Amino acid sequence: MASTPRAQAMTGAEAVRRALQGGSTDWRSVVFQTLLVLLLVLTLGILAWLLAVVFVNGIPVLAERGTDFLTSPLASRPQLAGVGQAIVGSLYLMVFVALISFPLGIGAAVYLEEYARDSWFTRLINTIVRNLAGVPSIVYGLLGLAVFVVALADFTGGRSLMSGGLTMAILVLPIVIITSAEALRAVPGSIREAAFGVGATRWEVVRSHVLPYAAPGILTGTILSMARAFGETAPLILVGAVVGGFNVQYDSVVGTLQGRYTALPTAVYDWARKPPTYSGNVYAAIVVLIVVLLLVNALAIYLRNRFERRW
Amino acid sequence: MSVRSRQASPADDERDVHEGPTIRLMATTQTLDESEQIQPASAGAQGDLAFASDDVVFELQSLSCFYGSFRAVRDISLQVPRNKITAIIGPSGCGKSTLLRSFNRMNDLVDSARIEGQILYHGVDLYADGVDPVEVRRRIGMVFQKPNPFPKSIYDNVAFGPRVAGYRGDMDELVERSLKRAAIWDEVHDKLRQPGTALSGGQQQRLCIARAIAVEPDVILMDEPCSALDPIATLKIEELMRELKENYTIVIVTHNMQQAARASDYTAFLTMGEDRAGYLVEMAPTQELFTRPANRITEDYITGRFG
């Protein structure tokens, strides 16, 4: 019948034991697995080495200068130069970027996901948004230079915090739209149907159900887009983040927005081009930058785990 | 009250003439040949159960439903009577749910969906210009296949509909009344602030029924409401349906023939044509359809020979 001659030759439990235990080692899978582990170690090793160099060189400077480094303005002497202005500038920049890009981006996502009919036009827009998210940041810098610094100079004050913020806002806008749209899409259609089914209008469905349920996802995505903007250097250099010393008067809102500014990654870039005496400052500034970025990402992960809803 | 006739019933008040005990005009000794002659295209004439016009909640006039160029439902004409449970049965994919969702314009939410023909609701064309789909859905509530409570409290689940409808009365009282009518009050009265999603499947579905009746609709559409539930929860829902029909007209889609036989007053049987478009084979009082189906295809289906 179904039993082979070999199976017939052996009997009962002995046969089963031999069949189950008799396999030889599969060398190909062992080699492949070892290779994968090595690749992983190599990748992580490079990253760890990079971080180690930065921290080994940066921590002593931070330890020596203490809060002085975190509060001092940019200066022509490395012993006096600090990231105070850069931190404040980055902070202002982030607030400005958030104020501009969140309403625009979330609004666009809500329109695309909840209101727009599925037509060739909406599909085109979705494709464009996706492609914009992949455009190199220097291109946004050029756009910012042409539009905000030059064309709208009367409004923005030229190379100002506002120009930088607007440029950064446009840079992260596609990311905000995409992550928000994904969060909205994760709300199941059955919830929308349930709300429509009791006679809610589209606005009521979006306001009372879809947006609140998508909020954690949207929040996580927007925070990560902020982190992206926080680490960008190239566009800011084009739209006039200051790479030298400057005096700043944060006296009025308009004055601040139209005034000069700098940002953390710009400071790093600037110092890195200077004589080796600045190298301690560079490492220390990178440490500050990395710590801030890690904190922001940790916050995003915490919020996601805390509020994420599984359907 | 209901009359079966081979001719499409006139849409005017002449229907009243037919009032009286159920009469079967269709020969029960229909041969196989005759039933095979029935083409899907002429199937519109099969839903010729006629009710007194006051009792007609929905009247479908050669309704076809499309998704893009695909015709999901073809030429259905039938009437749904007031304060009765009307079941729609048929094999998977024959357009039962599509048909049901056209009753409260739920299919409007699907971009590619459109209809031809008419659905009259108390004589008003639901798809006429100027008809507000939001108001349609408030009057014609819906319970879905998978229980879909909002991830909010039990109280808020029920209160959402009345709130958006601008209800000004005592909300606590309305929530309690709705939950009682849905036969779930006893199980949840002490945990109204807990999330509705924490309930069991059967409880969730009754919560969804409570949510649907909280806006005091006229009709409740149920799209396979028990398909995700165990037999005990299913029986509870069926019991509930029988109580609810005192006040509501119920249309239920089910793939469970026993359920249709147990719970409904009238049954419409749909099946698919060659073009995969669902069409109405026949509609009759449930007992009649299950004991003496007029059509060979119906008989084959309910005896389990196909589908």
Please, which residues have CB within 8 angstroms of residue B239's CB and are 6 or more apart in sequence?
B183
Asked, for residue A29, whether it belongs to a domain, the answer is no
- Considering only the beta carbons, identify the residue of B146, B160, B208 that sits closest to A208: B160
Asked, for residue A28, whether it belongs to a domain, the answer is no
Asked, for residue A14, whether it belongs to a domain, the answer is no
Structural domain span for residue A261: 67-307
Q: What is the CATH number of the domain that holds B167?
A: 3.40.50.300
Q: Residue A110 above 60 pLDDT?
A: yes
Per-residue pLDDT reduced to its tens digit, A157-167: 878 888 899 99
Query: ipTM strictly over 0.85?
Result: no
The per-residue DSSP string of A78-121 comes to TTT--SHHHHHHHHHHHHHHHHHHHHHHHHHHHIIIIIS-S-HH
Hey, what are A39's tokens? 């690749």
Provide the CB-side half-sphere exposure for A221 (13 A, CA): 23
**Interface residue ranges in chain B relative to chain A, Cβ cutoff 8 Å:** 104, 106, 109, 111-112, 134-135, 137-139, 141-142, 144, 146, 148-151, 160-161, 164-165, 208, 211-212, 214-215
CA dist., res. A235 & res. A86, Å (int)? 16
Asked, for residue A270, whether it belongs to a domain, the answer is yes
A117 touches chain B (CB under 8 A): yes
- Considering only the beta carbons, identify the residue of A196, A198, A201 that sits closest to B109: A196
Asked, for residue B307, whether it belongs to a domain, the answer is no
Asked, for residue A227, whether it belongs to a domain, the answer is yes
Asked, for residue B277, whether it belongs to a domain, the answer is yes
Determine, for residues A199 and B161 on separate chains, whether the beta-carbon distance falls below 8 Å. Answer: yes
Asked, for residue B269, whether it belongs to a domain, the answer is yes
Total domains in chain B come to 1
Distance from CA of B243 to the nearest CA of A (A): 21
Asked, for residue B164, whether it belongs to a domain, the answer is yes
Q: Which residues of B touch A198 (CB under 8 A)?
A: 137-138, 141, 160-161, 164-165, 211-212, 214-215
Q: What is the CATH number of the domain that holds A109?
A: 1.10.3720.10
CA dist., res. B207 & res. B161, Å (int)? 13
Per-residue pLDDT reduced to its tens digit, A263-291: 888 888 888 888 888 888 899 999 999 99
If you average pLDDT over residues A17-24, what whole number do you get? 80
Hey, what are B44's tokens? 């519109």
Structural domain span for residue B56: 3-302
Total domains in chain A come to 1
Provide the CB-side half-sphere exposure for B133 (13 A, CA): 16
CA dist., res. A133 & res. B86, Å (int)? 52
Asked, for residue A138, whether it belongs to a domain, the answer is yes
- Considering only the beta carbons, identify the residue of A118, A197, A209 that sits closest to B212: A197
Per-residue pLDDT reduced to its tens digit, A183-221: 999 999 999 999 999 999 999 999 999 999 999 999 988
Per-residue pLDDT reduced to its tens digit, B264-287: 999 999 999 888 899 999 999 999
- Considering only the beta carbons, identify the residue of B106, B149, B214 that sits closest to A196: B106
Distance from CA of A121 to the nearest CA of B (A): 14
Distances from the Cα of A48 to the Cαs of A56, A63, A279, A280, in angstroms?
A: 12, 21, 20, 19
Asked, for residue A288, whether it belongs to a domain, the answer is yes
Per DSSP, helices labelled H in chain A are 5-9, 12-21, 27-65, 67-71, 84-110, 120-132, 137-144, 153-156, 161-185, 189-197, 202-205, 211-231, 234-238, 253-258, 264-272, 279-307
Determine, for residues B144 and A193 on separate chains, whether the beta-carbon distance falls below 8 Å. Answer: yes
Closest residue in chain B to residue A208, using alpha carbons only: B160
The per-residue DSSP string of B149-200 comes to --SSBHHHHHHHHHHHTT--S-HHHHHHHHHHHTT-HHHHTT-TTSBGGGS-
CB B279 within 8 A of CB B71: no
